[in-house]
Amino acid sequence: MPKETDKHQKTSEPELENGMVRGLQNRHVQLIAIAGTIGTGLFLGSGHSIALTGPSIIIVYLLTGLFMFWMMRAMGEMLYYDPDQHTFINFITKYIGKGWGYFAGWSYWVSVIFLGMAEITAVAKYVQYWFPSWPSWIIQIVFLLILSSVNLIAVRVFGEAEFWFAMIKIIAILALIATAVFMLLTGFKTSQGPVSLTNISHHFEMFPKGWVRFIMSFQMVFFAYQAIEFVGITVSETQNPRKVLPKAIQEIPMRIVIFYVGALLAIMTIFPWRGLPEDTSPFVMVFKLAGIKWAAALINFVVLTSAASALNSTLYSTGRHLYQIANEAPNKFMTGLKIGTLSKTGVPSRAIIFSAIVIAISAFINVLPGVKDAFALITASSSGVYIAIYVLTMFAHLKYRRSKDFMPDGYLMPHYKILNPITTAFMIFVFITLFLQDSTYIGAIGATIWIVVFGIYSLYKFRNDK
C-alpha cells in the first residue's frame, strides 16, 4: 500500500501491517464497545418506543440484541483470525468476491457519511437549546473542525475523547436506574401514582396495540443498535487485539440488559406506560421528579455528547473505510488526492479530511429549499443499505468457516451452522419491516434501488476478477 515516505520516523508505538498505529488501550475499546450499544434514541425516543407496543418492547430489545450479538460473534471470529484488518469489509472482499467487497465498501462509507450528516445536524439543534440565536451551519462547521482535529492528531487522542463521551452516557443511564430503585424502595409517589413494578405487570398484554405495531418496533430497535460493529473496527488499533476483542464482544449481552432493559424497566416502574408521553424524554421527566429542576438541560448535555460521540466515531470509521477503498480499488481521483496515504502519526488523515468535507455539506443542505426533503430520503435509504452490509458479513463468515483460513482454536461463533442463517434471516426480516411504516417506506424503496443498481454495477465492474 502506498504510504508517505517519512512515516516510519513518527512514533515508537507498534504498527499494523498496513502501517496504522496500535494506539488504543483496552479501557478505550471497552468503553467504545459500551457506547456502541447506546444510541441517542434511548435518551430521546424511549418514550415513543414504549408507547409503540408497551412493556413487550423489552422483548424486542432483548431479541434484537441477541441477534446483533451473534452477528458480532461472526464478525469477531474473522477479526480474531486476522486482527490486522482495520475494517470488516475486507472479509467480504476476500470471501465473497471483489464485486461485493466494492459494493459493501462504498455502501458502508456512504451510509456512515449520511449518519454523520444526521448527527452533525442534531449537534446544532442541541447547542441551540442554550444559544438559539447561533446559526446552525456555523455550529456544525465548528464541531466538525474540532472532532476532525481529534481524529487527525493520533488514534489515542480519538480513543481518549470517546472514553469520556461514553462515560457521560453510562453515568446518565446508571443515574436513571439508581433513581428508579430509590423511588421504588422508598414508596415514592408521582403525579401518575406510586412508583411500583405493577406499573409494568398490571394488565400486561403482549400486543396491546396490535401485532403489526409489535413487528414494526423491530426496525426501530434494530437501528438503536446500529453501529454496534464499530468496536470491531477499533480493535485492530489496540496493542493486544486478540485479548481485547473477545472481552469487548462477550460483554455485549450484559451491556444490553443493563443499559437498555434496565433503563426501560426503570422508566416504566416510575410511570404507568399507558400514560407516558411520546414527545418528551422520559429521562427528563424522571430527573425532574427527583428534584433536578435543570433536568432538561442535563439530558440535553448528555444527548449533545452522545451525538458528538457518534460524529467522532463516524470520522474515525469513514476515514479508515475510504483509506481501504483507495488502496484496494483506487481511481485517478483518489490517487491524485493521496487518499490511500497515512500521516506521520499513522492516521489516514487525507481520507478523514475528505470524509469530513463531505459531511460538512449537510451544514448547508437545510437552508436550501427542496433539498432538505431529498436529504431526509437519502438518509432513510442509507439505513436500509446498512442491513445489506450486515447480511454480506454473515455470508462472508460462512465462506470463512469453509475456507483453508479457518482457525479452529480462534474466537469461534458457537453453533454457526444454525445461528448464522438464523441471524441472516432476522436481518432480512428487519429490512421487510421497513415497508410497514409510512416514515420508513420510501427509504426502504430507496435502499432496494441502491442495492439492486449499485450491486449489479459492482459485480459487473469486477466480473473478470476471481
| Spatial CB neighbours of 78, under 8 Å, sequence gap ≥ 6 | 85, 88, 91, 396, 397, 400
What is the set of domains in the chain, with CATH numbers?
Answer: 18-461 (1.20.1740.10)
Other C-beta atoms closer than 10 Å to the C-beta of 435 total: 15
Separation CA 123–CA 212 (nearest Å): 33
The answer to whether 16 and 151 are in contact (CB under 8 A) is: no
C-alpha angle with apex 399: 394 to 404, nearest 5 degrees? 140
CA 156 centroid distance within chain: 20
Dist CA 197 CA 181 (whole Å): 10
Q: For residues 221 and 211, what is the distance between their CA atoms, to the nearest angstrom?
A: 16
Instruction: Tell me the mean pLDDT in the region 258-276.
Output: 87
305/123 Cα distance (integer angstroms): 8
**Residue 8 — very low, low, confident or very high, per pLDDT cuts 50/70/90?**
very low
Q: Where are the alpha helices (DSSP H) in 366-464?
A: 371-401, 416-433, 438-461
Q: Would you state the pLDDT for residue 210?
A: 86
Question: What is the Cα–Cα distance from 39 to 223, expressed in whole angstroms?
Answer: 9
Work out the average pLDDT over 239-262.
Answer: 86
* Cα atoms in the Cβ-side hemisphere of radius 13 Å centred on 158: 32
Region 374-378: mean pLDDT is 65
Asked whether 76 and 232 are in contact (CB, 8 A), the reply is: yes
pLDDT value of residue 437:
83
Which residues on adjacent β-strands are paired with residue 21? 15
Evaluated on CA atoms 217, 48, 284, 191, the torsion sign reads negative
Taking 90 as the threshold, does the pLDDT of residue 4 lie above it?
Answer: no
Please tell me the predicted confidence (pLDDT) of residue 146: 94
- The reported pTM is 0.87
The model's confidence at residue 35, banded by pLDDT at 50, 70 and 90, is low
Region class of 181: left (phi > 0), else alpha (psi between -120 and 50), else beta: alpha
Burial (CB < 10 A; 0-12, 13-18, 19+), residue 143, is buried
Say if residues 354 and 339 touch (Cβ distance below 8 Å).
Answer: yes
- Inter-residue contact 32 to 231 (CB < 8 Å): yes
In this prediction, residue 6 carries a pLDDT of: 37
User: Each residue of 398-423: pLDDT tens digit?
Assistant: 999 999 999 999 999 999 999 999 99
Neighbour tally for 182: CB within 10 Å? 12
In degrees and rounded to multiples of 5, residue 15 shows phi and psi of -115, 160
**Residues forming a β-bridge with 193:** 190
**pLDDT of 242 higher than 80:** yes
pLDDT of residue 159: 82
Say if CB 88 and CB 78 are below 8 A apart. Answer: yes
Residue pointed to by grid coordinates 423511588: 183
Element (H, E) at 119: helix 98-127
